[in-house]
Amino acid sequence: MPLTGYKVLDLTQARAGPTSVRLLADWGATVIRIKPPSTLDAAQAEEAEGEVGQEDPDTQNLHRNKRGLALNLKSDEGRKVFMELARQCDVVVENFRADVKHRLGVDYDAVAKVNPRIIYASISGFGQTGPYSGRPGVDQITQGTSGLMSVTGEPGRGPLRVGIAISDTSAGMFLGQGILLALLHRERTGEGQWVHTSLLEAMLSKLDFQGARYTMDAEVPAQQGNFHPTNAPMGLFDAADGPVNVSASSNRGLAAMCEALGAENLVEDPRFESEDKRIENRAEVNAAVNQITRRFEVAVLVEKLNAVRVPCGPVYDIGEAFEDEQVKHLKMVCPAPHPRRGEINLVRSPINLSKFPHPDAFHHCGPRPGEHSDEILREFGFQADDIRKLYDDGVVT
């Protein structure tokens, strides 16, 4: 696999950090997930906040292909163990609040003293410095703070949360890219470095053209509901048996749609004769297209319009999406062995590499805290007597 041989210490919690580590684990890195020993109470184990047990589908999907080590980072001996592991590893990933890693003594400067080649990767809610750096950051808060909720939803109905944890997963994806960039830099120079991003930075980047409309022209975009903010007709329309997505905003696309659906008169309307005029009269063109699409069933529209290269698709629920014939062809579902449930099905990485076909199965399900403590410590050179003492002292479990 592309990342075989790289060793990663995973200190992450919740979703943003685990998303970045999942990229590394799925593509061959040896990933050790470090959690606090089960003997610690919930207040001490703050990095476990918000997570549930090993049976949970979300936990399994985030933490597959990892092994588990339970280690008390708040003890001197625990920090010594961590630093010995970090000395032999390539990457450390964490998404504590900005100050927590310093309080624990496992921040970048501390780790770089024992391993100057380390790639130390961090995600925070609002950035490592600045007036909000000490705030806790979660997806919902960032969706609001970034402006995303202000452009999501129907006009006049107030802000709306995006239905997935978009700021968490975006930050995780960007951090994963940053780790790979840093590893490439290290291949050339031998130098390690600190890579970091935040939920807020990720979401401001994801605003993309809405953000650029503000930064260039001071335009504040508003909600457009299920219609495209700048192109028309493009959005969600009524079919005879439910909603359907159609994108026919170009001159060619509109003409092809109208011919396929027997509505050539729409193209002849002077209000809709150019892309600029359709944007100017977007409400009218959307209403006119809606009168056409509602005469046909969704399946008919999908067949007719895609045949003339006009993008058109149904609106599935999650189950229908995974049962779709194209999704099944792509084999997006991949099994993992689970000690109690047998074979469980998880969602594979969306990246495809011609030299590295996807494995038929994940090699590990999400680990229980400390499930592999013994074998991990042995692999990193700890002797049996030392390991026994760490257990006796409650440093590991």
Question: Which domains does the chain possess?
Answer: 7-205+352-392 (3.40.50.10540), 234-315 (3.30.1540.10)
Q: Torsions phi, psi of 111, nearest 5?
A: -70, -40
What band does 54 get if pLDDT is binned at 50, 70 and 90? low
CA-to-CA separations, 329 to 110, 288, 298, 322, in angstroms, rounded: 47, 36, 22, 10
Q: Taking 80 as the threshold, does the pLDDT of residue 49 lie above it?
A: no
Do residues 65 and 362 lie in contact, with contact meaning Cβ atoms separated by under 8 Å? Answer: yes
- What's the confidence (pLDDT) of residue 53? 54
Would you state the structure tokens that stand for residue 149, as one six-digit string?
A: 């909720």
Q: Taking 50 as the threshold, does the pLDDT of residue 101 lie above it?
A: yes
- Starting at the edge strand that comes first in sequence, how are the strands of the sheet with 7-10 ordered? 67-70, 30-35, 7-10, 91-94, 119-124, 193-198
Would you state the structure tokens that stand for residue 391, as one six-digit string?
A: 């257990």
Residues in the chain: 397
At 234-280, the pLDDT tens digits run 999 999 999 999 999 999 999 999 999 999 999 999 999 999 999 99
- Name the nearest CA neighbour of 25 among 391, 314, 365: 365
At 328-358, the pLDDT tens digits run 999 999 999 999 999 999 999 999 999 999 9
**For residues 105 and 270, what is the distance between their CA atoms, to the nearest angstrom?**
69
Average pLDDT over residues 23-33: 98
- Starting at the edge strand that comes first in sequence, how are the strands of the sheet with 312-314 ordered? 234-239, 242-247, 312-314
Q: What mean pLDDT value characterizes the chain?
A: 94
Q: Taking 80 as the threshold, does the pLDDT of residue 122 lie above it?
A: yes
- Name the nearest CA neighbour of 32 among 63, 1, 3: 63
Strands 242-247 and 7-10: unpaired
**For residues 268 and 273, what is the distance between their CA atoms, to the nearest angstrom?**
7
Q: Taking 90 as the threshold, does the pLDDT of residue 327 lie above it?
A: yes
Average pLDDT over residues 34-44: 66
- What's the confidence (pLDDT) of residue 257? 98
At 127-180, the pLDDT tens digits run 999 999 999 999 999 999 999 999 999 999 999 999 999 999 999 999 999 999
What band does 55 get if pLDDT is binned at 50, 70 and 90? confident
What band does 38 get if pLDDT is binned at 50, 70 and 90? confident
Would you state the structure tokens that stand for residue 280, as one six-digit string?
A: 């100017």
- What's the confidence (pLDDT) of residue 97? 87
What band does 47 get if pLDDT is binned at 50, 70 and 90? very low
3-class secondary structure per residue, 172-195: HHHHHHHHHHHHHHHHHHCCCEEE
Residue with tokens 């494995």: 359
Percent of the chain at pLDDT exceeding 90: 94
